[in-house]
Amino acid sequence: MDNNFKLTIEYDGTNYHGWQRQVNERTIQKEIEKAIEKMTREKIILTASGRTDAGVHAIGQVANFKSNTRIGAQDLQNGLNSILPNDIVIHKCEAVDQNFHARYDAKSKRYRYTIINRARPNAIGRQYVWWIKSPLNIEAMREAILLILGEHDFKAFEGAGSPRSHTVRHIHQATLEPDGTGKLRIEIEANGFLRFMVRNIVGTLAMVGAGKLAADDIALILNSKDRKYAGATCPAQGLCLMQVHY
Amino acid sequence: MDNNFKLTIEYDGTNYHGWQRQVNERTIQKEIEKAIEKMTREKIILTASGRTDAGVHAIGQVANFKSNTRIGAQDLQNGLNSILPNDIVIHKCEAVDQNFHARYDAKSKRYRYTIINRARPNAIGRQYVWWIKSPLNIEAMREAILLILGEHDFKAFEGAGSPRSHTVRHIHQATLEPDGTGKLRIEIEANGFLRFMVRNIVGTLAMVGAGKLAADDIALILNSKDRKYAGATCPAQGLCLMQVHY
Protein backbone atom coordinates (compact mmCIF):
# COMPACT_ATOMS: atom_id res chain seq x y z
CA MET A 1 0.00 0.00 0.00
CA ASP A 2 1.37 3.36 -0.98
CA ASN A 3 -0.23 5.59 1.61
CA ASN A 4 -0.82 5.63 5.31
CA PHE A 5 -3.52 8.04 6.41
CA LYS A 6 -3.99 9.27 9.96
CA LEU A 7 -7.46 10.46 10.94
CA THR A 8 -8.42 12.56 13.96
CA ILE A 9 -12.05 11.85 14.71
CA GLU A 10 -14.86 13.28 16.83
CA TYR A 11 -17.94 11.17 17.44
CA ASP A 12 -21.10 11.15 19.46
CA GLY A 13 -21.25 7.55 20.65
CA THR A 14 -24.92 7.70 21.67
CA ASN A 15 -26.23 5.71 18.73
CA TYR A 16 -23.33 3.27 18.32
CA HIS A 17 -22.23 -0.01 19.81
CA GLY A 18 -18.79 1.42 20.41
CA TRP A 19 -15.79 1.69 18.12
CA GLN A 20 -15.08 -1.88 17.13
CA ARG A 21 -16.54 -3.51 14.05
CA GLN A 22 -19.27 -6.04 14.95
CA VAL A 23 -21.25 -8.09 12.53
CA ASN A 24 -24.79 -7.04 13.31
CA GLU A 25 -24.25 -3.76 15.11
CA ARG A 26 -23.73 -0.19 14.07
CA THR A 27 -20.22 0.80 15.15
CA ILE A 28 -17.98 3.79 14.53
CA GLN A 29 -15.24 1.71 12.90
CA LYS A 30 -17.68 0.07 10.49
CA GLU A 31 -19.25 3.41 9.58
CA ILE A 32 -15.92 5.04 8.77
CA GLU A 33 -14.49 1.99 6.98
CA LYS A 34 -17.62 1.90 4.81
CA ALA A 35 -17.19 5.58 3.93
CA ILE A 36 -13.49 5.13 3.10
CA GLU A 37 -14.21 2.09 0.96
CA LYS A 38 -16.88 4.05 -0.88
CA MET A 39 -14.30 6.70 -1.75
CA THR A 40 -11.26 4.55 -2.44
CA ARG A 41 -13.02 1.45 -3.81
CA GLU A 42 -10.59 -0.62 -1.78
CA LYS A 43 -11.12 -2.92 1.16
CA ILE A 44 -9.32 -1.19 4.02
CA ILE A 45 -8.78 -1.78 7.74
CA LEU A 46 -9.00 1.14 10.11
CA THR A 47 -6.86 0.85 13.25
CA ALA A 48 -7.75 3.08 16.20
CA SER A 49 -5.61 4.15 19.16
CA GLY A 50 -7.93 1.87 21.11
CA ARG A 51 -11.55 0.85 21.06
CA THR A 52 -14.16 2.86 22.94
CA ASP A 53 -17.13 1.07 24.47
CA ALA A 54 -20.80 1.44 23.49
CA GLY A 55 -22.10 4.91 24.29
CA VAL A 56 -18.65 6.43 24.87
CA HIS A 57 -17.80 9.59 22.89
CA ALA A 58 -14.58 10.95 21.40
CA ILE A 59 -13.37 14.41 20.50
CA GLY A 60 -9.88 13.30 19.45
CA GLN A 61 -9.87 9.61 18.60
CA VAL A 62 -7.00 8.76 16.22
CA ALA A 63 -7.01 5.99 13.64
CA ASN A 64 -4.96 5.06 10.58
CA PHE A 65 -5.43 3.03 7.42
CA LYS A 66 -3.31 2.04 4.44
CA SER A 67 -4.46 2.62 0.92
CA ASN A 68 -3.33 2.81 -2.70
CA THR A 69 -5.76 5.58 -3.46
CA ARG A 70 -4.62 8.61 -5.42
CA ILE A 71 -7.08 10.82 -3.59
CA GLY A 72 -5.22 13.40 -1.51
CA ALA A 73 -5.61 13.77 2.26
CA GLN A 74 -7.65 16.98 2.06
CA ASP A 75 -10.06 15.57 -0.53
CA LEU A 76 -10.38 12.38 1.50
CA GLN A 77 -11.30 14.38 4.58
CA ASN A 78 -13.88 16.49 2.74
CA GLY A 79 -15.35 13.46 1.04
CA LEU A 80 -15.58 11.43 4.23
CA ASN A 81 -17.27 14.29 6.06
CA SER A 82 -19.86 14.55 3.35
CA ILE A 83 -20.54 10.79 3.36
CA LEU A 84 -20.48 10.17 7.13
CA PRO A 85 -23.55 10.67 9.32
CA ASN A 86 -23.38 13.92 11.27
CA ASP A 87 -22.51 12.23 14.55
CA ILE A 88 -19.04 11.41 13.16
CA VAL A 89 -16.69 14.21 12.04
CA ILE A 90 -13.17 13.82 10.65
CA HIS A 91 -11.23 16.77 12.05
CA LYS A 92 -7.93 15.94 10.40
CA CYS A 93 -6.71 13.64 7.66
CA GLU A 94 -2.94 13.47 7.18
CA ALA A 95 -0.67 11.39 4.98
CA VAL A 96 1.85 9.97 7.45
CA ASP A 97 4.88 7.72 7.49
CA GLN A 98 4.26 4.08 6.49
CA ASN A 99 5.33 2.98 9.96
CA PHE A 100 2.80 5.02 11.88
CA HIS A 101 0.45 2.78 13.85
CA ALA A 102 -2.43 4.42 15.74
CA ARG A 103 -2.39 1.87 18.54
CA TYR A 104 1.24 0.85 18.99
CA ASP A 105 2.60 4.38 18.66
CA ALA A 106 0.23 6.05 21.13
CA LYS A 107 2.32 7.43 24.00
CA SER A 108 -0.57 8.59 26.14
CA LYS A 109 -4.29 9.29 26.05
CA ARG A 110 -6.52 11.70 27.88
CA TYR A 111 -10.10 10.91 28.85
CA ARG A 112 -12.71 13.25 30.30
CA TYR A 113 -15.62 12.15 32.43
CA THR A 114 -18.47 14.58 33.13
CA ILE A 115 -20.81 14.40 36.12
CA ILE A 116 -23.82 16.61 36.76
CA ASN A 117 -24.53 16.75 40.49
CA ARG A 118 -27.84 18.30 41.37
CA ALA A 119 -31.39 17.52 42.43
CA ARG A 120 -32.71 16.97 38.90
CA PRO A 121 -31.12 15.72 35.69
CA ASN A 122 -30.62 17.86 32.58
CA ALA A 123 -32.62 17.32 29.39
CA ILE A 124 -30.25 19.22 27.09
CA GLY A 125 -26.95 17.36 26.79
CA ARG A 126 -28.10 14.46 28.97
CA GLN A 127 -26.33 12.16 26.47
CA TYR A 128 -22.95 13.44 27.66
CA VAL A 129 -23.13 13.34 31.45
CA TRP A 130 -23.73 11.10 34.41
CA TRP A 131 -26.40 12.56 36.68
CA ILE A 132 -25.80 12.07 40.41
CA LYS A 133 -28.64 13.31 42.59
CA SER A 134 -27.14 13.36 46.10
CA PRO A 135 -24.63 16.13 46.83
CA LEU A 136 -21.03 15.00 46.38
CA ASN A 137 -18.15 15.96 48.62
CA ILE A 138 -15.89 17.44 45.96
CA GLU A 139 -12.98 18.04 48.32
CA ALA A 140 -12.86 14.37 49.30
CA MET A 141 -12.99 13.35 45.63
CA ARG A 142 -10.11 15.73 44.87
CA GLU A 143 -8.05 14.21 47.65
CA ALA A 144 -8.84 10.73 46.37
CA ILE A 145 -7.97 11.38 42.75
CA LEU A 146 -4.44 12.45 43.69
CA LEU A 147 -3.77 8.93 44.94
CA ILE A 148 -4.03 7.41 41.46
CA LEU A 149 -1.28 9.67 40.08
CA GLY A 150 1.93 7.98 39.04
CA GLU A 151 2.70 4.34 38.26
CA HIS A 152 0.43 1.73 39.85
CA ASP A 153 -0.95 -1.68 39.20
CA PHE A 154 -4.55 -0.86 38.26
CA LYS A 155 -5.78 -4.43 38.40
CA ALA A 156 -8.46 -3.46 40.95
CA PHE A 157 -9.87 -1.01 38.40
CA GLU A 158 -9.87 -3.37 35.44
CA GLY A 159 -13.17 -4.55 33.99
CA ALA A 160 -14.00 -8.09 35.03
CA GLY A 161 -13.38 -10.77 32.43
CA SER A 162 -10.61 -8.93 30.61
CA PRO A 163 -7.40 -10.00 32.34
CA ARG A 164 -4.17 -8.78 30.80
CA SER A 165 -0.73 -9.92 31.80
CA HIS A 166 0.39 -6.38 32.37
CA THR A 167 -1.91 -4.16 34.47
CA VAL A 168 0.58 -1.49 35.49
CA ARG A 169 -0.19 1.92 34.04
CA HIS A 170 1.26 5.38 34.59
CA ILE A 171 -1.20 8.22 35.23
CA HIS A 172 0.43 11.51 34.28
CA GLN A 173 -2.45 13.77 35.15
CA ALA A 174 -5.70 13.44 37.06
CA THR A 175 -7.89 16.44 37.78
CA LEU A 176 -11.40 17.11 39.01
CA GLU A 177 -12.78 20.59 38.31
CA PRO A 178 -16.12 22.35 37.91
CA ASP A 179 -16.55 23.00 34.18
CA GLY A 180 -18.14 26.43 34.69
CA THR A 181 -21.61 25.28 33.63
CA GLY A 182 -22.57 23.47 36.83
CA LYS A 183 -20.90 20.20 35.87
CA LEU A 184 -17.95 18.36 37.31
CA ARG A 185 -15.16 17.43 34.94
CA ILE A 186 -12.72 14.62 35.68
CA GLU A 187 -9.73 14.34 33.37
CA ILE A 188 -7.24 11.51 33.41
CA GLU A 189 -4.18 11.17 31.21
CA ALA A 190 -2.15 7.97 31.22
CA ASN A 191 0.25 5.98 29.09
CA GLY A 192 -2.54 3.46 28.66
CA PHE A 193 -5.83 2.33 30.09
CA LEU A 194 -7.24 -1.03 31.06
CA ARG A 195 -10.76 -1.92 30.00
CA PHE A 196 -13.33 0.15 31.99
CA MET A 197 -10.46 1.68 33.98
CA VAL A 198 -11.70 5.29 33.79
CA ARG A 199 -15.29 4.32 34.49
CA ASN A 200 -14.24 2.15 37.43
CA ILE A 201 -12.07 4.93 38.84
CA VAL A 202 -14.92 7.45 38.47
CA GLY A 203 -17.40 5.01 40.01
CA THR A 204 -15.02 4.70 42.98
CA LEU A 205 -14.53 8.48 43.22
CA ALA A 206 -18.33 8.86 43.29
CA MET A 207 -18.42 6.54 46.32
CA VAL A 208 -15.84 8.76 47.99
CA GLY A 209 -17.97 11.80 47.10
CA ALA A 210 -21.02 10.09 48.60
CA GLY A 211 -19.13 9.33 51.82
CA LYS A 212 -19.27 5.57 51.28
CA LEU A 213 -15.49 5.36 51.03
CA ALA A 214 -12.79 7.51 52.60
CA ALA A 215 -10.48 9.36 50.22
CA ASP A 216 -7.45 7.29 51.21
CA ASP A 217 -9.31 4.04 50.66
CA ILE A 218 -8.21 4.51 47.05
CA ALA A 219 -4.69 3.53 48.08
CA LEU A 220 -5.98 0.39 49.79
CA ILE A 221 -8.06 -0.53 46.75
CA LEU A 222 -5.05 -0.09 44.45
CA ASN A 223 -2.96 -2.28 46.73
CA SER A 224 -5.65 -4.94 46.94
CA LYS A 225 -5.43 -5.50 43.17
CA ASP A 226 -8.93 -6.87 43.57
CA ARG A 227 -11.81 -5.57 41.46
CA LYS A 228 -14.35 -6.25 44.20
CA TYR A 229 -13.09 -3.39 46.37
CA ALA A 230 -13.49 -0.66 43.76
CA GLY A 231 -16.80 1.08 42.98
CA ALA A 232 -19.23 0.07 40.26
CA THR A 233 -18.46 0.89 36.62
CA CYS A 234 -20.13 4.24 36.00
CA PRO A 235 -22.30 4.91 32.90
CA ALA A 236 -20.68 5.09 29.46
CA GLN A 237 -22.30 8.33 28.29
CA GLY A 238 -20.24 10.59 30.61
CA LEU A 239 -16.98 9.40 29.06
CA CYS A 240 -15.13 11.07 26.20
CA LEU A 241 -11.72 10.31 24.67
CA MET A 242 -10.21 13.78 24.38
CA GLN A 243 -6.75 13.33 22.91
CA VAL A 244 -4.13 10.79 21.91
CA HIS A 245 -0.48 11.79 22.11
CA TYR A 246 2.17 10.29 19.84
CA MET B 1 -60.58 24.22 39.86
CA ASP B 2 -58.90 24.49 43.23
CA ASN B 3 -55.27 24.70 42.25
CA ASN B 4 -53.12 26.50 39.79
CA PHE B 5 -49.73 24.92 39.23
CA LYS B 6 -46.76 26.67 37.66
CA LEU B 7 -44.13 24.49 36.03
CA THR B 8 -40.59 25.48 35.05
CA ILE B 9 -39.49 23.14 32.30
CA GLU B 10 -36.30 22.15 30.48
CA TYR B 11 -36.58 20.26 27.23
CA ASP B 12 -34.45 19.02 24.39
CA GLY B 13 -36.61 19.88 21.37
CA THR B 14 -34.70 17.62 18.95
CA ASN B 15 -37.32 14.89 18.80
CA TYR B 16 -40.45 17.07 19.02
CA HIS B 17 -42.63 19.06 16.68
CA GLY B 18 -42.39 22.03 18.98
CA TRP B 19 -44.40 22.96 22.04
CA GLN B 20 -47.93 23.10 20.79
CA ARG B 21 -50.31 20.16 20.85
CA GLN B 22 -50.88 18.73 17.35
CA VAL B 23 -53.07 15.80 16.50
CA ASN B 24 -50.61 13.45 14.87
CA GLU B 25 -47.29 14.79 16.09
CA ARG B 26 -45.21 14.34 19.17
CA THR B 27 -45.10 17.69 20.97
CA ILE B 28 -43.86 18.88 24.35
CA GLN B 29 -47.27 20.15 25.43
CA LYS B 30 -48.95 16.84 24.59
CA GLU B 31 -46.26 14.84 26.38
CA ILE B 32 -46.55 16.85 29.60
CA GLU B 33 -50.37 17.05 29.50
CA LYS B 34 -50.47 13.27 29.11
CA ALA B 35 -48.20 12.83 32.14
CA ILE B 36 -50.27 15.25 34.25
CA GLU B 37 -53.51 13.52 33.26
CA LYS B 38 -52.01 10.19 34.19
CA MET B 39 -51.26 11.51 37.67
CA THR B 40 -54.37 13.61 38.33
CA ARG B 41 -56.89 11.54 36.33
CA GLU B 42 -58.30 14.85 35.08
CA LYS B 43 -58.38 16.40 31.64
CA ILE B 44 -56.17 19.47 31.93
CA ILE B 45 -54.89 22.23 29.66
CA LEU B 46 -51.31 23.34 29.95
CA THR B 47 -50.65 26.98 29.01
CA ALA B 48 -47.07 27.98 28.20
CA SER B 49 -45.44 31.41 28.21
CA GLY B 50 -45.44 30.95 24.44
CA ARG B 51 -44.99 28.15 21.99
CA THR B 52 -41.56 27.11 20.78
CA ASP B 53 -41.13 25.85 17.22
CA ALA B 54 -40.09 22.37 16.14
CA GLY B 55 -36.50 21.62 17.14
CA VAL B 56 -36.19 24.59 19.52
CA HIS B 57 -35.04 23.85 23.08
CA ALA B 58 -35.86 25.34 26.46
CA ILE B 59 -34.05 25.54 29.76
CA GLY B 60 -36.65 27.70 31.50
CA GLN B 61 -40.00 27.39 29.74
CA VAL B 62 -42.88 28.22 32.09
CA ALA B 63 -46.39 26.79 31.89
CA ASN B 64 -49.40 26.56 34.19
CA PHE B 65 -52.46 24.35 34.55
CA LYS B 66 -55.50 24.24 36.80
CA SER B 67 -56.49 21.11 38.64
CA ASN B 68 -58.60 19.78 41.49
CA THR B 69 -55.98 17.22 42.40
CA ARG B 70 -55.01 16.73 46.02
CA ILE B 71 -51.49 15.78 45.04
CA GLY B 72 -49.04 18.36 46.39
CA ALA B 73 -46.68 20.37 44.18
CA GLN B 74 -43.58 18.44 45.23
CA ASP B 75 -45.17 15.04 44.65
CA LEU B 76 -46.50 16.23 41.30
CA GLN B 77 -43.01 17.30 40.25
CA ASN B 78 -41.43 14.01 41.32
CA GLY B 79 -44.19 12.00 39.69
CA LEU B 80 -44.02 13.92 36.43
CA ASN B 81 -40.25 13.55 36.25
CA SER B 82 -40.56 9.82 36.67
CA ILE B 83 -43.26 9.54 33.97
CA LEU B 84 -41.81 11.95 31.40
CA PRO B 85 -39.21 10.87 28.83
CA ASN B 86 -35.72 12.00 29.77
CA ASP B 87 -35.66 14.84 27.22
CA ILE B 88 -38.22 16.73 29.33
CA VAL B 89 -37.43 17.70 32.94
CA ILE B 90 -39.67 19.63 35.34
CA HIS B 91 -37.31 21.83 37.36
CA LYS B 92 -39.97 23.45 39.51
CA CYS B 93 -43.62 22.86 40.33
CA GLU B 94 -45.29 25.53 42.45
CA ALA B 95 -48.85 26.07 43.64
CA VAL B 96 -49.54 29.66 42.59
CA ASP B 97 -52.33 32.20 42.74
CA GLN B 98 -55.48 31.32 40.76
CA ASN B 99 -54.92 34.38 38.59
CA PHE B 100 -51.45 33.46 37.40
CA HIS B 101 -51.36 32.97 33.62
CA ALA B 102 -48.11 31.79 32.05
CA ARG B 103 -48.67 33.70 28.81
CA TYR B 104 -50.48 36.87 29.80
CA ASP B 105 -48.38 37.54 32.89
CA ALA B 106 -44.98 37.09 31.24
CA LYS B 107 -43.11 40.41 31.47
CA SER B 108 -40.09 39.41 29.43
CA LYS B 109 -38.32 36.40 28.01
CA ARG B 110 -34.71 35.61 27.27
CA TYR B 111 -33.57 33.46 24.36
CA ARG B 112 -30.10 32.16 23.60
CA TYR B 113 -28.87 31.27 20.15
CA THR B 114 -25.62 29.32 19.76
CA ILE B 115 -23.39 29.36 16.69
CA ILE B 116 -20.29 27.27 16.10
CA ASN B 117 -18.02 29.02 13.63
CA ARG B 118 -15.18 26.87 12.37
CA ALA B 119 -14.03 24.80 9.43
CA ARG B 120 -15.83 21.63 10.50
CA PRO B 121 -19.02 20.97 12.45
CA ASN B 122 -19.12 19.29 15.86
CA ALA B 123 -20.49 15.80 16.39
CA ILE B 124 -21.02 16.10 20.14
CA GLY B 125 -23.78 18.61 20.87
CA ARG B 126 -24.52 19.24 17.18
CA GLN B 127 -28.24 19.22 18.15
CA TYR B 128 -27.79 22.52 20.00
CA VAL B 129 -25.83 24.75 17.61
CA TRP B 130 -25.84 26.23 14.14
CA TRP B 131 -22.60 25.45 12.34
CA ILE B 132 -21.27 28.25 10.12
CA LYS B 133 -18.20 27.30 8.15
CA SER B 134 -16.86 30.64 6.87
CA PRO B 135 -15.18 32.88 9.43
CA LEU B 136 -17.55 35.50 10.86
CA ASN B 137 -16.64 39.07 11.62
CA ILE B 138 -17.64 39.10 15.29
CA GLU B 139 -16.96 42.82 15.76
CA ALA B 140 -19.36 43.75 12.96
CA MET B 141 -22.01 41.42 14.44
CA ARG B 142 -21.56 43.06 17.86
CA GLU B 143 -22.00 46.50 16.33
CA ALA B 144 -25.12 45.31 14.52
CA ILE B 145 -26.77 43.70 17.51
CA LEU B 146 -26.68 46.98 19.44
CA LEU B 147 -29.02 48.48 16.87
CA ILE B 148 -31.91 46.23 17.85
CA LEU B 149 -31.81 47.40 21.50
CA GLY B 150 -34.81 49.38 22.71
CA GLU B 151 -38.31 49.73 21.32
CA HIS B 152 -38.73 49.07 17.59
CA ASP B 153 -41.27 47.82 15.15
CA PHE B 154 -39.86 44.36 14.35
CA LYS B 155 -42.17 43.70 11.42
CA ALA B 156 -39.16 43.12 9.14
CA PHE B 157 -38.07 40.28 11.43
CA GLU B 158 -41.44 38.59 11.72
CA GLY B 159 -42.00 35.17 10.16
CA ALA B 160 -43.92 35.37 6.91
CA GLY B 161 -47.57 34.41 7.14
CA SER B 162 -48.01 35.35 10.79
CA PRO B 163 -49.06 39.01 10.76
CA ARG B 164 -50.03 40.51 14.08
CA SER B 165 -51.63 43.90 14.55
CA HIS B 166 -48.94 44.91 16.97
CA THR B 167 -45.33 44.29 15.92
CA VAL B 168 -43.58 46.71 18.28
CA ARG B 169 -41.38 44.99 20.84
CA HIS B 170 -38.88 46.26 23.38
CA ILE B 171 -35.49 44.55 23.51
CA HIS B 172 -33.95 45.03 26.94
CA GLN B 173 -30.73 43.18 26.34
CA ALA B 174 -28.88 41.83 23.33
CA THR B 175 -25.40 40.38 23.63
CA LEU B 176 -23.03 38.36 21.51
CA GLU B 177 -20.18 36.63 23.35
CA PRO B 178 -17.86 33.65 22.98
CA ASP B 179 -19.13 30.98 25.38
CA GLY B 180 -15.65 29.82 26.40
CA THR B 181 -15.91 26.53 24.50
CA GLY B 182 -15.33 27.86 20.99
CA LYS B 183 -18.94 28.78 20.38
CA LEU B 184 -20.67 32.10 19.90
CA ARG B 185 -23.60 32.87 22.17
CA ILE B 186 -26.24 35.41 21.25
CA GLU B 187 -28.68 36.35 24.00
CA ILE B 188 -31.76 38.49 23.51
CA GLU B 189 -34.20 39.56 26.19
CA ALA B 190 -37.42 41.34 25.23
CA ASN B 191 -40.91 42.01 26.52
CA GLY B 192 -42.14 39.75 23.76
CA PHE B 193 -41.14 38.10 20.52
CA LEU B 194 -42.79 37.79 17.13
CA ARG B 195 -42.81 34.43 15.39
CA PHE B 196 -39.27 33.52 14.16
CA MET B 197 -38.04 36.91 15.43
CA VAL B 198 -34.89 35.63 17.14
CA ARG B 199 -34.04 33.30 14.26
CA ASN B 200 -34.58 36.07 11.71
CA ILE B 201 -32.41 38.46 13.72
CA VAL B 202 -29.66 35.84 14.03
CA GLY B 203 -29.93 35.03 10.32
CA THR B 204 -29.44 38.73 9.60
CA LEU B 205 -26.53 39.03 12.05
CA ALA B 206 -24.89 36.08 10.28
CA MET B 207 -25.11 38.02 7.01
CA VAL B 208 -23.40 40.93 8.73
CA GLY B 209 -20.74 38.53 10.04
CA ALA B 210 -20.23 37.19 6.53
CA GLY B 211 -19.85 40.72 5.12
CA LYS B 212 -23.01 40.48 3.03
CA LEU B 213 -24.61 43.30 5.01
CA ALA B 214 -23.05 46.26 6.81
CA ALA B 215 -23.62 46.48 10.56
CA ASP B 216 -25.79 49.57 10.25
CA ASP B 217 -27.98 47.96 7.59
CA ILE B 218 -29.86 46.57 10.60
CA ALA B 219 -31.32 50.04 11.19
CA LEU B 220 -32.45 50.27 7.56
CA ILE B 221 -34.01 46.82 7.73
CA LEU B 222 -35.90 47.72 10.91
CA ASN B 223 -37.16 50.91 9.29
CA SER B 224 -38.21 49.11 6.11
CA LYS B 225 -40.67 46.98 8.12
CA ASP B 226 -40.31 44.57 5.21
CA ARG B 227 -39.39 40.91 5.81
CA LYS B 228 -37.63 40.65 2.45
CA TYR B 229 -34.70 42.83 3.57
CA ALA B 230 -33.79 40.74 6.61
CA GLY B 231 -31.68 37.56 6.44
CA ALA B 232 -33.02 34.04 6.18
CA THR B 233 -34.52 32.34 9.24
CA CYS B 234 -31.65 30.44 10.83
CA PRO B 235 -31.97 26.80 11.94
CA ALA B 236 -34.17 25.92 14.93
CA GLN B 237 -31.69 23.74 16.78
CA GLY B 238 -29.43 26.64 17.88
CA LEU B 239 -32.28 28.31 19.75
CA CYS B 240 -33.10 27.90 23.44
CA LEU B 241 -35.66 29.66 25.63
CA MET B 242 -33.63 30.45 28.72
CA GLN B 243 -35.92 32.27 31.11
CA VAL B 244 -39.35 33.86 31.46
CA HIS B 245 -39.72 36.79 33.85
CA TYR B 246 -43.01 37.54 35.64
pLDDT in tens, A86-95: 999 999 999 9
Instruction: Kindly give, in sequence order, each residue whose CB lies less than 8 Å from that of residue A189, ignoring residues fewer than 6 positions away.
Output: A108, A109, A110, A111, A171, A172, A173, A174
Half-sphere exposure of A214 (CA within 13 A, CB side): 4
Q: What is chain B's mean pLDDT, rounded?
A: 95
For residue B154, the model assigns a pLDDT of 96
Q: Which residue intervals of chain A bear CATH 3.30.70.660?
A: 108-245
Contacts of A57 in chain B (CB under 8 A): 123-124
Chain B CA closest to residue A59:
B124
Q: Which of B164, B163, B237, B172 is nearest to B202 (CA)?
A: B237
pLDDT band for position A180 (cuts 50, 70, 90)? confident
B12 touches chain A (CB under 8 A): yes
Contacts of A79 in chain B (CB under 8 A): none
Chain B nearest C-alpha distance from A13 (Å):
9
Choose, out of B74, B90, B124, B131, the residue to mutate when testing the contact with A (most A CBs < 10 Å): B124
Instruction: Kindly give, in sequence order, each residue whose CB lies less than 8 Å from that of residue A41, ignoring residues fewer than 6 positions away.
Output: none
pLDDT band for position A111 (cuts 50, 70, 90)? very high
Task: Give B3-95's CATH code, choosing from 3.40.50.1820, 3.30.70.580, 3.30.360.10, 3.40.50.620.
Answer: 3.30.70.580
Q: What is the mean pLDDT of residues A142-168?
A: 90
The CA distance from A155 to A45, in Å, is: 31
Nearest to A57 among B57, B124, B180 (CB): B124
Q: CB distance A124–B10 less than 8 Å? A: yes
pLDDT higher than threshold 70 for residue A163:
no
For residue A21, the model assigns a pLDDT of 86
pLDDT higher than threshold 90 for residue A68:
yes
pLDDT band for position A132 (cuts 50, 70, 90)? very high
Instruction: Kindly give, in sequence order, each residue whose CB lies less than 8 Å from that of residue A232, ignoring residues fewer than 6 positions away.
Output: A200, A203
The fold adopted by the segment(s) A108-245 is Alpha-Beta Plaits (3.30.70)
Cα A119–Cα B177–Cα B237 angle in degrees, nearest 5: 60
Q: Which residue intervals of chain A bear CATH 3.30.70.580?
A: 3-95
Q: CB distance B91–A120 less than 8 Å? A: yes
Q: CB distance A81–B120 less than 8 Å? A: yes
The CA distance from B125 to A125, in Å, is: 7
Q: CB distance A89–B128 less than 8 Å? A: no
Ranges of chain B with pLDDT below 50 = none
Q: What is the mean pLDDT of residues A104-131?
A: 97
* DSSP-derived 3-state class of residue A136: coil
A86 touches chain B (CB under 8 A): yes
Q: What is chain A's mean pLDDT, rounded?
A: 95
For residue A181, the model assigns a pLDDT of 79
Q: Taking the complete model, does pTM exceed 0.90, yes or no?
A: yes
> What's the length of chain B?
246
Q: CB distance A123–B180 less than 8 Å? A: no
For residue B163, the model assigns a pLDDT of 63
> What's the length of chain A?
246
